[in-house]
A and B are shown apart, each in its own frame.
Chain A
């Protein structure tokens, strides 16, 4: 019989030896941290209700879910950001550790504590829309807040992190959402006041063929805009979407030699590699994050 996350005995009295909610929560977090997660936070499953409609809440995937344990990892190493070859980060760096951590935490919760637990659905099942937002999960678990840059969740310590989550019926102590928005950083506010743009808006401006726009007043974001579809052409430059575009070219081409040139082209191979290896299909544009000051000090190494 696995130990239960209960604080009372069968006769209703207090069990002095039973771990309390704080201890249990810390235990689960330690399992995540020991298995690849850089940060772990907990959100209450019901906290999603304020932000997303039915169909996109934890209980839609696990009836009775009470807690969402979120794991975050940095993806590319600090040195990878300095590489002069931008393709390096397109094919390396994303190692799915956060997914491994959430799977190990789920197994630990089920085998050690007897509660249901499973990995939250991290990828879209219809087009680009996720069934359950890992970004919102990270915000609710107090791991970060949404940036002007592509609505990415910025962790105050690490900046860009990749997130995955475990859904569970186990009651855990939820973390508080961060009290202050990580974005915009102080230096970005200064730049915005001088030039009307933050670094990410300057690199990828929505009104000049990019993806990002926002307004800032008194150091706070007052409006934001993100063109996800243009971002997809950059951040998923090679992979499923690019492959479909090339198939479209192929079916429109009657010339056999032209077809061959498309089929044998470097881009066609890159797209297939992106689909097959999967790593290439996760993120291939880092330019708004490259200039983001949050966590950038960590990239200064010997």
Chain B
């Protein structure tokens, strides 16, 4: 398996914006971004795994360099900068809640700390 087949030699390859918009959601869905049932303890048949860039390229009939570049850009594009601010506030709330009541507040069935 060469580096090219792994899609690691993209270099300064730039993807056409129309091609990006056409495939970004599908490529992200097929890749490692949203992991469903990847647990090794799940039986064969129920366990799934994301596709590699080479496999996605083959399925969608695309050049692997395009798939890699679309995936890398789309990973960044999934959430806007506002999500980063929300993330910081989420962590503030979560750690404050933990300090106030420890993990027991969850066991009592109270709302999770992010939504108090």
Chain A residues in the interface with B (C-beta under 8 A): 51-56, 60, 84, 86, 125-129, 131, 136, 139, 145-146, 151, 177, 181, 187, 191, 194-195, 199, 202-205, 208-210, 220-230, 232-234, 237, 241-242, 244-246, 248-249, 284-285, 287, 290-291, 293, 296
Contacts and interface: CB of A to CB of B under 8 A. Distances in A.
B43 to A, nearest CB: 10
Contact of A177 (B36, B40, B78): B40
B45 to A, nearest CB: 13
Which has the most chain A C-beta neighbours within 10 Å: B40, B78, B80? Answer: B40
A55 B112 contact: no
Interface of B: 1, 5-8, 10, 28, 31-42, 46, 49, 52-55, 68, 71-72, 75-76, 78-81, 83-84, 86-88, 90-92, 94-95, 98-99, 103, 106-107, 109, 112-115
Contacts, number: 159
A53 B114 contact: no
B33 A228 contact: yes
B20 to A, nearest CB: 14
Given A53-B52, A60-B1, A237-B87, A203 B106 contact: yes
A229 B40 contact: no
Contacts of A202: 106, 112
Nearest to B47: A51
B5 to A, nearest CB: 6
Given A128-B75, A226-B35, A237-B88, 7 more contacts: A177-B40, A202-B112, A205-B112, A210-B114, A233-B87, A245-B81, A246-B81
A97 to B, nearest CB: 25
Contacts of B10: 126
